Amino acid sequence: MTEPSPDWLDDLLERPRVIEDAGFTERVVTELPSPPNRLVRGGILALAAGLGTAATLVATGASPTEILVAWSQFDAWGQGLPLTSLAVLGTLAGLHFGLLAAQD
């Protein structure tokens, strides 16, 4: 009896096996999570900013007017206004996290 070629199994296992797509790609794309639309992103952003501002107002006791004053006196931050500066920074932090949430 002749010894089988040592390569026959390699040939068999290496044989290219093309699998037809047959709708597979379409099924995958359909199952992809849909990206949040701009309205939802905007909503998340507004909500996060609002919550950040509200939380900061409660925590610092600063009024919305004080925050607006702090905004308008941006160049005076180095000379004082610790409470209102903190409020503004809190608002900015709220916006920052809101943007991050919107990106996700």
Partner 1 sequence: MSISEADLIARVITRDDRHAFATLVRLHQSSVRAVLRKLTAGDAALADDLAQETFIRAHRNLRSFRADAKLSTWLYRIAYNCFVSHQRKRRESTGLDHHPEPSVSGATEASDLNRDVSAAMAGLRDEERAAIALTYAEDLTHPEAAAILNMPVGTLKTHVARGKEKLRRSLAAYAPR
Q: At what angle do helices 38-60 and 64-72 cross, to 10 degrees?
A: 100
Q: Which is nearer to partner 1, 25 or 72 (CB)?
A: 25
Alpha-carbon distance of 83 to 37, in angstroms, equals: 37
Of residues 23 and 78, the one with the C-beta less far from partner 1:
23
Q: Are 97 and 49 in contact (CB under 8 A)?
A: no
Q: Which residues of the shown chain bind partner 1 in the complex (CB under 8 A)?
A: 1-2, 4-5, 8-9, 12-14, 16-21, 24-29, 31-33, 35
State the nearest-atom distance from the C-beta of 10 to partner 1, in Å: 8
Helix (H) or strand (E) holding 76: none
**Token reading at 13:** 């296992």
Report the residue number, 5 or 79, with the smaller CB distance to partner 1: 5
